[in-house]
């Protein structure tokens, strides 16, 4: 967002030699805390998200579960996931989770993106797609450990939750937070949200949820959307929320290892060719009229010769 | 120029395949590099604005693959390895230092060119398959994300390797005088043919002399 253009800490496809505008880098990190134990699955957050961001997704079909739409789309940036589970005692549990971008401190999408400035990370922790710079290659889809970005068929650009960067920039909380009727979603500084989470986790443990805990995965440097989970020891129960998310080693190999190796390959190849030419000289052909065949051996043995016919 | 001193080395159809492929390849390679090395982002502008380059790159890539497959059919029988290629390998240093006096029994293409041939053909096949898989507009959604990551890595590795091979190929064309002109006109001099491809000259060219070389390339 233009309003936050002075506090960018990471910019896609931009190397570290050119520092980004950071005049306001004293800014506090923000976080959204989603307490799954308080969620009733009303989908008010989905509606608020669509309303604030002016998204009009197609009305879908019931696919046999409550998830609706059935998945994130370019025009649905958050979806409540409904997972049924029987615990060891045979007791049914309904696990709800509001899915959307986690706003990682080390964003895989941003690492993968080849288009300068198409993905920005702001000092407050928000990771935002700049749609007009997006080229629609889909690398962010491969880079994301949470399978969040979606590419629109309408305009071939990637979309996901912005954490309402436009609202946050003017001191408002994200639309989903504002709307949530049960108080399951909170927003504030990351430190405040961690404190709040700690309190909630204590309460949940006191009520017998021994596995309760905060989901702020260290593998991606922590996230700016965090969960309080009743089963924090098994995050994957909540619709395949990764137990230990991190940027894939394949993506790291591609972006961190192959790039310098490739650059060295170019330098070595070009320098080698140039050095060879300087050392050996052009490989020319003696075009003096063909003598008797017996002379061929010697002709071929002659070194560089400027009589040669040029290419 | 005295035509009787020239021999036809590459037919018109093959030269057309080669140079049309080269034109497409340059655009594909430069736009590909613009995404692999984002600091060289400007290279992508050979195909217009970045979004347009992203649209065109895969189509041009298919053109490169198709033209190379045509060339495969036309050239493969000259590029099968034969026993005499060992002679060339044994004298590789002399070849590179331009000091080979003996006949190296080189056929229409030398062993290095054959390696280039098979390298290009295998890398373009890998690029074609991985490129289709990561083609977001049509096929990428058919593959799970971990597979896409491997395809992206494979596409990058193969692309880099192919571009480096092609740089070597271009350099050899510049170094060995007469090759680029030969690939444009189709003709090389008899002396050139004897010097660089002695076995080809003896087996294919010399027996037909004193040929008034045909100009229907």
Q: pLDDT tens digits for A24-34? A: 667 789 999 99
Q: What per-residue confidence (pLDDT) applies to B209?
A: 52
Q: How far is B165 from chain A (nearest CA, A)?
A: 9
Mean pLDDT of chain A: 91
pLDDT in tens, A228-243: 999 999 999 999 999 9
What would the mean pLDDT of B179-184 be, rounded to a whole number?
96
Q: What percent of chain B has pLDDT over 70?
A: 93
Q: Does A109 have pLDDT greater than 90?
A: yes
Task: Tell me which chain A residue has its CA closest to the CA of residue B138.
Answer: A153
- Over range A219-232, report the average pLDDT: 98
CATH topology of domain A2-230: Alpha-Beta Plaits (3.30.70)
Looking at residue A305, its pLDDT comes to 43
Q: Do A151 and B136 touch (CB under 8 A)?
A: yes
Residue A177 in contact with residue A186, Cβ under 8 Å? Answer: yes
What is the CATH number assigned to the segment(s) B3-208?
1.20.950.20
- Percentage with pLDDT > 90 across chain B: 88
Q: DSSP E strands: which ranges in A71-195?
A: 79-86, 92-99, 119-122, 127-129, 150-151, 158-159, 185-189
Report pLDDT for A22.
77
State pLDDT tens for residues A231-276. 999 999 999 999 999 999 999 999 999 999 999 999 999 999 999 9
Q: What pLDDT sits at residue B193? A: 94
> How large is the ipTM?
0.91
Which sign does the torsion angle of CA A62, A65, A68, A71 carry?
negative
Is B194 at the interface with chain A, CB within 8 A? yes
What pLDDT does residue A286 have? 87
Residue A297: strand, helix, or coil? helix
Residue range A68-108, pLDDT digits in tens: 999 999 999 999 999 999 988 999 999 999 999 999 999 99
The arithmetic mean of pLDDT across residues B155-179, rounded, is: 97
- Closest Cα in chain B to A260: B37
> What was the pLDDT predicted at A88?
85
**pLDDT tens digits, one per residue of A37-59:** 999 999 999 999 999 999 999 98
Test the A interface: residue of B39, B56, B155, B168 with most A CBs within 10 Å = B39
Q: Select from A276, A282, A300 the Cβ nearest to the Cβ of B195.
A: A300
Rg, Å, chain B Cα set: 20
List the 289-308 stretch of A: residues with Cβ below 8 A of B.
Answer: 290, 296-301, 303-304, 308
Q: Could you tell me which residues come within 8 angstroms of residue A89 by beta carbon, excluding any fewer than 6 positions away?
A: none
Q: At A77, give phi and psi (nearest 5°).
A: -95, -5
CB within 8 Å: B145 and A147: yes
A139 touches chain B (CB under 8 A): yes
CA trace torsion B6, B8, B12, B13 (10° rounding): -170
Supply the pLDDT for residue A289. Answer: 64
Those of residues 74-133 in B touching chain A at CB distance below 8 A are 96-103
Domain extents in chain A: 2-230, 253-278, 281-311
Residues in chain B: 217
Contact check, Cβ <8 Å, B149/A156:
no
pLDDT bucket at A145, cuts 50 / 70 / 90:
very high
Query: Within a 10 A sphere around the Cβ of B80, how many other Cβ atoms?
Result: 12
Q: Which residues of B are catalytic?
A: 169
Average of per-residue pLDDT across B160-169: 98
- A253 close to A111: Cβ distance less than 8 angstroms: no
Per the CB < 8 Å rule, is B194 touching A300? yes
Give the list of residues 6+ apart from residue B92 with CB closer than 8 angstroms, or none. Answer: B112
Would you call B42 an interface residue with chain A, using a CB distance cutoff of 8 Å? no
pLDDT bracket for residue A287 (50, 70, 90): confident
> Is the pLDDT confidence value at A2 over 50?
no
Which residue in chain A is spatially nearest to B35 when comparing CA positions?
A: A114
pLDDT beyond 60 at A110: yes
A284 neighbors B176 (Cβ within 8 angstroms): no
CA nearest B185 in A: which residue?
Answer: A311
Q: Confirm or reject contact between A278 and chain B (CB < 8 A).
A: no
pLDDT beyond 50 at A128: yes
Contacts A–B by Cβ distance under 8 A? 159
Comparing alpha-carbon positions, the chain B residue that sits nearest to A311 is B178
Share of chain A above pLDDT 90, in %: 80
| A237/A232 Cα distance (integer angstroms) | 9
State whether A304 and B148 contact (CB < 8 Å): no
Tell which of B98, B104, B161, B211 to mutate to test the A interface (max A CBs under 10 Å): B98
Nearest to A285 among B152, B167, B177 (CB): B177
pLDDT surpassing 80 at residue B160: yes
Band (A215; pLDDT cuts 50, 70, 90): very high
User: Is pLDDT above 50 for A173?
Assistant: yes
Are A197 and A33 in contact by the 8 Å Cβ rule? The answer is: yes
User: Is any Cβ of chain A less than 8 angstroms from the Cβ of B174?
Assistant: yes
pLDDT band for position B208 (cuts 50, 70, 90): low
Q: Are A45 and A55 in contact (CB under 8 A)?
A: no
Long-range contacts from A172-177, C-beta under 8 angstroms, 24+ separation: A174/A32, A175/A45, A175/A48, A175/A49, A175/A51, A175/A52, A175/A53, A176/A32, A176/A44, A176/A45, A176/A46, A176/A48, A176/A49, A176/A78, A176/A98, A177/A32
Give the gap in angstroms from C-alpha A211 to the nearest C-alpha of chain B.
Answer: 30
Tokens of A78: 């958050």
Chain A, residues 44-73, CB within 8 A of chain B, namely none
Q: Are A230 and A116 in contact (CB under 8 A)?
A: no
Cα separations in angstroms, A111 against A104, A134, A191, A250, B32: 11, 14, 26, 12, 17
């Amino acid at each position: 967002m233009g309003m936050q253009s002075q506090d960018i800490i990471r910019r896609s496809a931009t190397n570290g030699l050119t520092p980004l505008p950071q005049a306001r880098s004293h800014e506090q990190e923000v976080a959204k805390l989603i307490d799954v134990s308080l969620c009733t699955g009303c989908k008010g957050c989905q509606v608020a998200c669509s309303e604030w961001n002016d998204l009009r997704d197609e009305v879908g079909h019931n696919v046999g579960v409550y998830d609706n739409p059935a998945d994130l789309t370019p025009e649905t940036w958050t979806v409540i996931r409904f997972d049924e589970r029987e615990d060891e005692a045979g007791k049914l549990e309904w696990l709800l989770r509001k899915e959307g971008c986690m706003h990682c401190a080390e964003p895989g999408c941003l690492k993968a993106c080849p288009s300068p400035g198409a993905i920005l990370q702001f000092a407050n922790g928000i990771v935002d797609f700049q749609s007009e710079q997006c080229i629609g290659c889909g690398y962010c889809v491969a880079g994301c450990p949470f399978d969040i970005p979606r590419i629109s068929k309408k305009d071939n650009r990637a979309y996901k939750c912005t954490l309402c960067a436009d609202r946050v920039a003017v001191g408002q909380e994200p639309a989903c937070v504002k709307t949530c009727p049960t108080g399951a979603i909170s927003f504030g500084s990351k430190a405040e949200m961690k404190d709040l989470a700690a309190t909630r986790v204590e309460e949940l443990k006191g009520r017998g949820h021994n596995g309760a805990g905060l989901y702020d995965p260290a593998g991606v440097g922590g996230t700016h959307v965090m969960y309080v989970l009743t089963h924090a020891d098994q995050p994957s129960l909540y619709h395949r929320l990764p137990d230990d998310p991190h940027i894939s080693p394949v993506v790291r190999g591609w972006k961190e290892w192959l790039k310098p190796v490739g650059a060295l390959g170019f330098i070595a190849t070009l320098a080698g060719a140039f050095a060879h030419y300087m050392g050996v000289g052009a490989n020319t052909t003696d075009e003096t009229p063909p003598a008797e065949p017996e002379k061929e051996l010697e002709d071929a043995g002659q070194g560089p010769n400027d009589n040669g016919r040029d290419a | 120029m005295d035509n009787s001193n020239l021999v036809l080395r590459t037919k018109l159809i093959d030269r057309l395949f080669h140079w049309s492929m080269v034109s497409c390849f340059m655009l594909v390679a430069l736009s590909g590099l613009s995404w692999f090395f984002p600091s060289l982002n400007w290279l992508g502008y050979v195909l217009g604005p970045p979004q347009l380059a992203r649209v065109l790159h895969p189509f041009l890539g298919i053109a490169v693959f198709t033209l190379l497959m045509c060339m495969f059919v036309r050239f493969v029988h000259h590029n099968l390895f034969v026993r005499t290629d060992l002679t060339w390998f044994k004298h590789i240093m002399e070849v590179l230092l331009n000091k080979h006096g003996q006949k190296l029994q080189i056929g229409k293409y030398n062993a290095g060119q054959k390696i280039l041939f098979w390298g290009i053909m295998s890398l373009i096949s890998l690029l074609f398959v991985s490129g289709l898989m990561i083609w977001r507009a049509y096929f990428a959604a058919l593959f799970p994300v971990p597979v896409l990551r491997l395809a992206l890595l494979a596409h990058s590795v193969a692309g880099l390797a192919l571009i480096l091979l092609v740089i070597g190929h271009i350099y050899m064309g510049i170094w060995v005088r007469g090759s680029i002109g030969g690939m444009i006109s189709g003709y090389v001099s008899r002396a050139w043919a004897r010097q660089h491809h002695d076995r080809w000259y003896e087996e294919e060219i010399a027996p037909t002399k004193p040929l008034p070389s045909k100009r229907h390339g």
